Chains A and B, each alone.
Chain A
Amino acid sequence: MMRFFLVFALLLAGCGLPRDPDETLKHIREDKIMRVGAIERADRPTGAAEAVFVRRIADRLDARVALRTGDTERLLEALKAGELDLVVGPLSRKSPWAAEVALIDPLTKEGDTPPLPFSAAAPAGENAWVSLLEAEARDLRGGA
Chain B
Amino acid sequence: MSLDTFPEAIRDDVRRARRLEYWNIGWTISIIVVMGLAMGGSQTMKTAWVEDTLGLIPPIAFLVALKIEAKPHSKLFPFGFDRAQGLAFLIAAVALALVGAMLLWDAAGTLIAREHAMVGSIRILGRDIWLGWIMIAAQLYSIVPPFIIGRMELPLAERMQDEVLYTDAKMNKANWMTGVAGLGGVIGLGMGWWWADSVAAAIISIDIIRDGWRALKIASAELIDGLPRKLGATEPDPDAVALMERLERFYPDAKARVRDTGRYMRAEVIGASPGEPPDLIALWPGDPDRGWRLAEVSFLPDKGIGPIMSARADARVQTRLGQGRDGADLGARLGARRERC
Interface size on B, residues (CB 8 A): 26
A130 at the B interface (CB under 8 A): yes
Cα A106 to Cα B180 in complex, Å, equals: 35
Given contact pairs A9-B187, A21-B116, A125-B118, A143 touches B194 in the complex (Cβ within 8 A): no
A50 at the B interface (CB under 8 A): no
A11-19, A38-46, A110-118: which one contacts chain B?
A11-19
Tell me which residues across on chain A come within 8 A of B116, comparing CB atoms: 21, 123-126
When the two chains form their complex, are residues A21 and B128 in contact, meaning their CB atoms are under 8 A apart?
Answer: no
Tell me which residues across on chain B come within 8 A of A23, comparing CB atoms: 192
A127 at the B interface (CB under 8 A): yes
What per-residue 1/0 map shows which CB atoms of B288-300 lie under 8 Å from chain A?
0000000000000
A102 at the B interface (CB under 8 A): yes
Cα A127 to Cα B117 in complex, Å, equals: 8
- Nearest neighbor of B197 in chain A, beta-carbon distance: A125
Tell me which residues across on chain B come within 8 A of A125, comparing CB atoms: 115-118, 194
Given contact pairs A2-B143, A102-B118, A125-B118, A135 touches B194 in the complex (Cβ within 8 A): no
Between A8, A9, A15, A128, the greatest number of chain B beta carbons within 10 A of the residue's beta carbon is seen for A9
Partner of B123, one of A6, A20, A124, A138: A138
When the two chains form their complex, are residues B191 and A135 in contact, meaning their CB atoms are under 8 A apart?
Answer: no
Partner of A127, one of B144, B183, B190: B190
When the two chains form their complex, are residues A131 and B121 in contact, meaning their CB atoms are under 8 A apart?
Answer: yes
When the two chains form their complex, are residues B120 and A130 in contact, meaning their CB atoms are under 8 A apart?
Answer: yes
When the two chains form their complex, are residues B194 and A21 in contact, meaning their CB atoms are under 8 A apart?
Answer: yes
- Nearest neighbor of A128 in chain B, beta-carbon distance: B192
- Nearest neighbor of A26 in chain B, beta-carbon distance: B192
User: Which residues of B (97-119) have their CB < 8 Å from a CB of A?
Assistant: 115-119
When the two chains form their complex, are residues A131 and B143 in contact, meaning their CB atoms are under 8 A apart?
Answer: no
Smallest beta-carbon distance A114→chain B, Å: 25
When the two chains form their complex, are residues B180 and A5 in contact, meaning their CB atoms are under 8 A apart?
Answer: yes
User: Which residues of A (7-64) have their CB < 8 Å from a CB of B?
Assistant: 8-9, 12, 15, 17-21, 23
When the two chains form their complex, are residues B128 and A138 in contact, meaning their CB atoms are under 8 A apart?
Answer: yes
Cα A134 to Cα B130 in complex, Å, equals: 10
Partner of A19, one of B118, B120, B192: B192
Partner of B119, one of A9, A18, A135, A143: A18
Tell me which residues across on chain B come within 8 A of A104, comparing CB atoms: 120
- Nearest neighbor of A13 in chain B, beta-carbon distance: B133
Tell me which residues across on chain B come within 8 A of A135, comparing CB atoms: 121, 123, 128
Cα A8 to Cα B140 in complex, Å, equals: 12
User: Which residues of B (192-216) have their CB < 8 Å from a CB of A?
Assistant: 192-194
When the two chains form their complex, are residues A127 and B193 in contact, meaning their CB atoms are under 8 A apart?
Answer: no
Tell me which residues across on chain A come within 8 A of B187, comparing CB atoms: 8-9, 12, 17
Cα A9 to Cα B143 in complex, Å, equals: 14
When the two chains form their complex, are residues B192 and A18 in contact, meaning their CB atoms are under 8 A apart?
Answer: yes
Cα A127 to Cα B188 in complex, Å, equals: 12
Tell me which residues across on chain B come within 8 A of A130, comparing CB atoms: 118, 120-121
Tell me which residues across on chain B come within 8 A of A138, comparing CB atoms: 123, 128
Cα A86 to Cα B70 in complex, Å, equals: 65
A-B contact pairs, 17 of them (CB 8 A): A2-B140, A2-B144, A5-B183, A9-B136, A9-B140, A17-B132, A17-B187, A18-B130, A18-B189, A18-B190, A21-B193, A125-B116, A125-B118, A127-B119, A127-B192, A131-B121, A134-B121
Q: Using a CB–CB distance below 8 Å, which chain A residues touch chain B?
A: 2, 5-6, 8-9, 12, 15, 17-21, 23, 102, 104, 123-128, 130-131, 134-135, 138, 143
Apart from A5-B180, A17-B133: 5 A-B pairs, beta carbons within 8 A? A15-B191, A18-B190, A19-B192, A130-B118, A143-B123
